[in-house]
């Protein structure tokens, strides 16, 4: 006779591909940073444009 806990364990076995269920996998550095890209890329682009404009004005 199976218990409700056994049924819950059996239903979770098919979800091994779920990334949130795999607690034992190694931490991926790209996954830690990718959510910051919409903020970091425009900021770095703005700093780069400012530096290039500063160099162009300084050399002119």
- Residues 18-49 pLDDT 10s: 566 667 888 888 898 899 999 999 999 999 99
- Predicted pLDDT at 8: 57
Rounded mean pLDDT, 5-14: 56
What is the per-residue burial (b if ≥16 Cβ within 10 Å, else e) of 7-22?
eeeeeeeeeeeeeeee
Alpha helices in 1-60 (DSSP H): 4-12, 29-33, 37-59
pLDDT-derived band at 60, boundaries 50, 70, 90: confident
pTM flag (> 0.85): no
């Amino acid at each position: 006779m199976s218990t409700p806990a056994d049924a819950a364990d059996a239903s979770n076995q098919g979800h091994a591909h779920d990334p949130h269920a795999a607690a034992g996998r190694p931490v991926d550095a790209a996954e830690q940073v990718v959510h910051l890209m919409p903020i970091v890329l425009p900021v770095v682009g703005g700093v780069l444009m400012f530096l290039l404009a500063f160099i162009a004005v300084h050399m002119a």
